[in-house]
Structure 1
Amino acid sequence: MNALLIDIGNQRIKLAVATSPRRVNPLPPLPSTIAAEELKAKTGRIVRRHKPGACVIASVVPPVTRRILATIRSQFPGKGVFVLNFASFAKLMKTAVKPRPEPGADRLADVLALKALCPLPACVIGAGTAITVNVVDKNGVFRGGAILPNTGLQLAALRQKTARLGVVRNLDARAHAIGTDTRSAVTAGVMRGAECAVEGLVRDMQAELKMPFKTIIVTGGHGERFAARLKARGLKAEYDAAFTLRGLAWFADAQQPR
């Protein structure tokens, strides 16, 4: 397998070339607002250099997906271009999650990677624009999870909905839990609040499963501090920046003829 992986997020498009789920070579990301011609030029250079035989696309932004699909299909004539969605996911993995509204493709890629690569039961925390916490049980079934706003969305809500708290923009990740002024109080509520929420969800999910997770993976651009928090609180969490891409690589491999 030699596949181009494209993970379209709300703010960035992550790219990688992979020969297996464990051999993923991340490439420089692109902004989700990239113009069609610039995108075509950049992906064209990747295709010429790495010569991938297939391409997998996962997206949480439908308008961007349509634009990228048109470009990629023109660069892979006669080759496989595969889109990870709930229908294609459900052919590969059992799930208790309802198909409508459709779960985000990033969540689907994350749990595919859990099932393929990790001891179960397990959970994966995706810390992007939103935070997702997803669970695969001991039988390899995607049970579902939780979604909550990350710190950027929380700050945006304070800016839009309050008269004075919106002046706080830059947060200190090392802040104490007890803030001594408005800025440090907002930091405590937003930064520490998100960390506590994730930890609480992980513990509650273990309680619902009636067994501890054998694997806890944290991924996403804001994930390292969540992994550090979980470790400090006695949970065996690992940070893997490429974990979603590993799930896409496994999905790409599953599309190959056997």
Structure 2
Amino acid sequence: MLLAADVGNTNVVFALIDQGEIKARWRIASDPRRTGDEYAVWLLQLAEFQGFDSGDIDQVIIGSVVPRAIHNLTVLSEKYLGITPLIAGQGAAEWGFELDIEQPSSLGADRALNTIAAHEKYEGDLIVIDFGTATTFDVVDFNGAYKGGIIAPGINLSLDALVGNTAKLPRIAIEKPGSDSVIGRNTEDQMLIGVFWGYVSLIEGLIARMKKEIGRPATVVATGGLAVLFDEHTDLFDQVDSDLTLNGLGILAGRSA
């Protein structure tokens, strides 16, 4: 069984994957100071609570956009599981696809893993949108090559900046406004319209521009926590795949076995 760790700027997601199927997943806040011992106490107890035996884990892969976290997760793997982990993008776990961009080494592990999984699962040219701390838009051509993309502030990051830099605006939850009107009648409605429909407009505009530049039909694949929210209230996406990054880790680990 494979233990996959997807380390983002906000959360670390661990998953147990058996023959390509995700059997369990757990999430913890990202903190590069968290030690391998702390990870072990938290993770191995959760696995046991759900009936999994750490002795069944025979492979570990780490994909991280937080370089400082890799060492402590390596300690977790080697000290508590007796396994030298694969590091996504390095050594036996090199990406294995063309990076047709000016600075290949700058591509985040999450975006590379999304590229692998999206090309494996969907045909033709792809636009992959990942709603994380940042919202990223990535173009993958029909041969699986990574062609470039866009990085935009994540919607929560945008809301934090709005609330944190104003004296009177309240904290609001991100959700679809109760009305389809884009003329708000009170402060909270006006904020929600700006955040939700403003972000929808950003996504629509960027997708349209990317499709025009690609010049061929492109399938839009969305992943990340807020993909479902936008999918429920718009028709922006052709596919919503919440486990795209974890699936990328599983595919990469399978190729490296």
Given the two structures, how large is their TM-score scaled by the length of structure 2?
0.85
Aligned to 2:184: 179
Aligned to 1:238: 239
Aligned to 1:133: 137
Q: Secondary structure at the match of 2:5?
A: strand
Aligned 8 A contact 1:20 1:250 in 2: no
Matched, 1:157 2:161: yes
Aligned-residue Cα RMSD (Å) equals 2.5
Report how far residue 52 of structure 1 moved.
2.1
Pick from 182, 187, 190: which aligns with 2:195?
A: 190
Q: Secondary structure at the match of 2:85?
A: strand
Pick from 171, 182, 205: which aligns with 1:200?
A: 205
Relative to structure 1, the CA distance from residue 73 to residue 112 in structure 2 (aligned partners, 3 Å threshold; closer, same or farther) is same
Aligned 8 A contact 1:227 1:238 in 2: no
Q: Secondary structure at the match of 2:53?
A: helix
Using the aligned pairs only, state the percent identity: 25
Pick from 121, 124, 134: which aligns with 2:125?
A: 121
Decide which moves more: 83-92 or 108-117. 83-92
Relative to structure 1, the CA distance from residue 177 to residue 89 in structure 2 (aligned partners, 3 Å threshold; closer, same or farther) is farther
CA distance in 2, matches of 1:48, 1:6: 17
Pick from 55, 59, 78: which aligns with 2:60?
A: 55
Aligned 8 A contact 1:150 1:194 in 2: no
Aligned to 1:29: 27
Report how far residue 24 of structure 1 moved.
2.0
Name the aligned partner's letter for residue 247 of structure 2: R
Aligned to 2:3: 4
Name the aligned partner's letter for residue 138 of structure 1: F
Report how far residue 164 of structure 1 moved.
3.0
Question: Over residues 161-211 of structure 1, what are the superposed CA-to-partner deviations in whole Å (9 max), with x where a residue is unaligned?
Answer: 33333x243344234422222221121111111122112212211111101
Relative to structure 1, the CA distance from residue 87 to residue 180 in structure 2 (aligned partners, 3 Å threshold; closer, same or farther) is farther
Aligned 8 A contact 1:127 1:220 in 2: yes
Aligned 8 A contact 1:86 1:103 in 2: no
Map residues 65-144 of structure 1 onto 2, 5 A cutoff.
65-77=70-82, 79-85=83-89, 91-99=95-103, 102-144=106-148
Aligned to 2:42: 42
Map residues 208-247 of structure 1 onto 2, 5 A cutoff.
208-213=213-218, 215-231=219-235, 235-247=236-248
Given the two structures, how large is their TM-score scaled by the length of structure 1?
0.85
CA distance in 2, matches of 1:108, 1:125: 12
Report how far residue 154 of structure 1 moved.
0.9
Q: Secondary structure at the match of 1:169?
A: coil
CA distance in 2, matches of 1:87, 1:98: 22
Query: Where does the alignment leave 5 or more consecutive residues of structure 1 unmatched?
Result: none
Question: Over residues 14-44 of structure 1, what are the superposed CA-to-partner deviations in whole Å (9 max), with x where a residue is unaligned?
Answer: 11122344x2223221222484333112344
Q: Secondary structure at the match of 2:74?
A: helix
Aligned 8 A contact 1:122 1:136 in 2: yes
Q: Secondary structure at the match of 1:124?
A: strand
- When the two structures are aligned, how many residues end up with a matched partner? 248
